[in-house]
């Protein structure tokens, strides 16, 4: 049995997320369909991250097992020829049979982009903020994220008995002239976590919730104050580290 690892880039605007779903167009579903046709048998991809509808990826990783040996470069070229223009395989390589794109990952890096000026051509790749915010608060809030925390208060659809602890290695805001970018790297991420964190930090910077309420959510793992989740189009999975 051979194990092939794919590094994938995609524009998520036209998809209902990564994970294959009945009656929905998803990135995993499209790649599996084309890959299975090329390999002559039904194949199943395991993805590193189940990105939501509208979320993008520069470095999504997936793997699949096959009994047929093929040239990774040739497969990548042929697969790219069949895939739509908003999905591309950036690399293909053989890995050990026990490699799993999801469970072998050591960390994932996400980036969230916010525009402070209205740019119509970037509307599918960033969140345009219409409000005045206190930018000085953002780096202070981001610093509090590093370490291990119960992140359930910032996530969506937490399942009973789900492990809510995440170790965050890097959390920074990058302030530029017309934009602000948030980067976060951690060992694992709960459903909607990055969008929840960004949404909550922006609410603090708008004066809608207090820094103390943000910290209470972070340190208790319980959401006792309402805040909106940042929209999906500003989020990109940048890299998965192994």
Active site residues per annotation:
52
The secondary structure of 59-101, three-state, reads EEEEEEEECCCCCHHHHHHHHHHHCCCCEEEEEEEEECCCCCC
CA dihedral 200, 206, 212, 218 (to 10 degrees): 10
C-alpha–C-alpha distance, residues 86 and 147, integer Å: 35
> What is the token pair recorded at 225?
């104050």
Sign of the CA dihedral running 155, 136, 225, 143: positive
Residue from 210, 214, 213 nearest 197 by CA: 214
C-alpha–C-alpha distance, residues 58 and 165, integer Å: 26
């Amino acid at each position: 049995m051979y194990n092939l690892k794919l590094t994938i880039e995609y524009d998520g605007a036209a998809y209902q997320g990564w994970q294959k779903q009945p009656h929905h167009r998803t990135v995993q579903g499209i790649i599996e369909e084309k890959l299975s046709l090329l390999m002559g048998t039904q194949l199943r991809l395991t993805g590193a991250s189940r990105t939501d509808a509208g979320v993008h990826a520069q470095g999504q990783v997936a793997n699949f097992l096959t009994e047929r040996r093929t040239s990774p470069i040739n497969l990548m070229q042929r697969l790219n020829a069949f895939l739509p223009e908003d999905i591309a395989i950036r690399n293909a390589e053989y890995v050990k049979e026990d490699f799993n794109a999801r469970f072998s990952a050591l960390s994932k890096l996400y980036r969230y982009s916010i525009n402070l000026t209205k740019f119509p051509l970037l509307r599918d790749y960033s969140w345009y903020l219409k409000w005045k915010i206190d930018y000085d608060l953002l780096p202070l809030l981001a610093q509090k994220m590093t370490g291990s925390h119960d992140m359930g208060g910032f996530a969506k659809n937490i399942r009973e008995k789900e492990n809510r602890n995440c170790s965050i290695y890097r959390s920074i805001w990058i302030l530029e002239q017309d934009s602000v970018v948030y980067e976060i790297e951690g060992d694992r991420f709960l459903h909607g976590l990055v969008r929840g964190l960004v949404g909550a930090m922006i609410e603090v910077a708008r004066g809608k919730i207090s820094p103390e309420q943000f910290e209470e959510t972070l340190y208790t793992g319980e959401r006792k104050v309402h805040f909106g989740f940042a929209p999906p189009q500003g989020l990109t999975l940048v890299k998965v580290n192994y």
